[in-house]
Structure 1
Amino acid sequence: MDIRRARSCAELVAAEGLFDGPAREEWARRFLDAPGHLMLIAYVGDVPVGMVSGVEMTHPDKGAEMCLYELSVDEAHRRRGIGRALALALADEARARGCYGMWVGVDTDNGPALATYESAGAEDEGVFTMRGWALG
C-alpha cells in the first residue's frame, strides 16, 4: 500500500468510488485550490482503496488544528490497517504543518470508525453533540 497526496482533479475523480457520491470536477478543483484542504489516497498498485480528507483551521487565539473531515476504505480492503495508516498519515501532515492537534467527529454507534481512530491514537474527549444547518 502507498499513500499519496491528491494534487489533481483526475486523482479525485479516479477515487470517487470511495466517496458518498460521484466527484464533480468543479468541486474537486475548489477542494484542491482551497488553502488548508488536504486529501490523501491509499493505493494498492494503481487502484485507490482508501482516502482521508482533512481541513486545517486556524483561530487567532489557538493557532492551527486539523479536522479529519472524512475517512473511507473500500469494503474489500477493510480490516487491513488502511484506515489507521491514513489517519496516522494525516496526523503526520498536521504535525508537519504546525498544527497543535487533530480532531474528528464520529457517530457514537459507528464501532468500526471508533476502533480505527482509537488504534491511530485518538482519545475520547467526552460527550459531543452536533447541530447542522441545511443551506441548500
Structure 2
Amino acid sequence: MIHVRPAVPEDLEEVAGLFDQYRMFYGQAADFAAAHRFMADRMERGDSVVLVAEMPTGVLAGFTQMFPGFSSVAVAPVFILNDLFVAPAQRRGGVGRALLLAAAEFAQGAGAVRLSLSTAIDNRPAQALYESLGWVRNTQFHQYNLAIESSMSVEPPA
C-alpha cells in the first residue's frame, strides 16, 4: 500500500535524490548538491508543499511539489503542481496516481479552486494519467515563458 504524506525534514536526503532524478529526466545535469539545497530551502521556508509517496518498506517512491498562488479572475487561491516524479522502479504501480489524488485533496482542503501543471509534449504516459483523473488540457490559452537573465535589460520596445 502506498502512503502519501507531507515531507518532513528527515525525508530531505531521499527527496533531494528523487528531485535530482526529476531534473535529469528534464535534461539537466546531475547535481545532488543543488537539488539538496533547493529542496532544503523549500522545506525550511515552507514556500511549497512537498508530498511524498512512501512504500510499506519505508522507501520513498516519488514526490510532488506544489507552489501556492492566486487566480485574479477567480479571486481565489490556486496551486501550481510544478513537480511530479516517480522513481523508475516504482512506475506503473499507482504511485503517480496516489500523489495526484493527494495533491488534489490537499488543494481542496486549502480552499484552492484549481491545480495547474505543465508537462512535456512527448510525455504521453503522464498525459494519459492526468486525463484519467479528470485533468483537462487547456485549449483556451497559450502558455508563454520569458527567461530572465542576470545581464538582461528589461525595457519596453521603442
TM-score interval (norm. to shorter): 0.7 to 0.9
- Paired with 2:12 and 2:130, the residues of 1 have a C-alpha distance of 23
Note if contact 1:66-1:94 (Cα within 8 Å) is conserved in structure 2: yes
Given candidates 67, 80, 87, the residue that maps to 1:55 is: 67
Structure number with larger C-alpha Rg: 2
Shift of 1:36: 4.8
Return 5+ residue gaps in structure 2 as ranges: 24-30, 151-158
* Structure 1 position 116 matched with structure 2 position 117: no
Root-mean-square deviation (CA, aligned residues, Å) is 2.0
Q: Describe the SS at the equivalent of 2:97.
A: helix
Question: Structure 1's 16 and 24: CA in aligned 2 closer, same or farther, altered over 3 A?
Answer: closer
- Paired with 2:110 and 2:49, the residues of 1 have a C-alpha distance of 11
TM-score relative to the length of structure 2: 0.75
Question: Structure 1's 35 and 58: CA in aligned 2 closer, same or farther, altered over 3 A?
Answer: farther
Structure with more of its chain in strand, by fraction: 1
TM-score relative to the length of structure 1: 0.86
- Paired with 1:2 and 1:40, the residues of 2 have a C-alpha distance of 10
Shift of 1:120: 2.1
What is residue 154 of structure 2 aligned with on the other side?
Answer: none
- Paired with 2:132 and 2:48, the residues of 1 have a C-alpha distance of 24
1:63-89 deviation line (CA, Å, top 9, x unaligned) = 100111110001111011111110110
What is residue 6 of structure 2 aligned with on the other side?
Answer: 5
Name the count of aligned residue pairs.
134
Return 5+ residue gaps in structure 1 as ranges: none
* Structure 1 position 105 matched with structure 2 position 106: no
Question: Structure 1's 16 and 36: CA in aligned 2 closer, same or farther, altered over 3 A?
Answer: closer
Percent identity over the alignment? 27
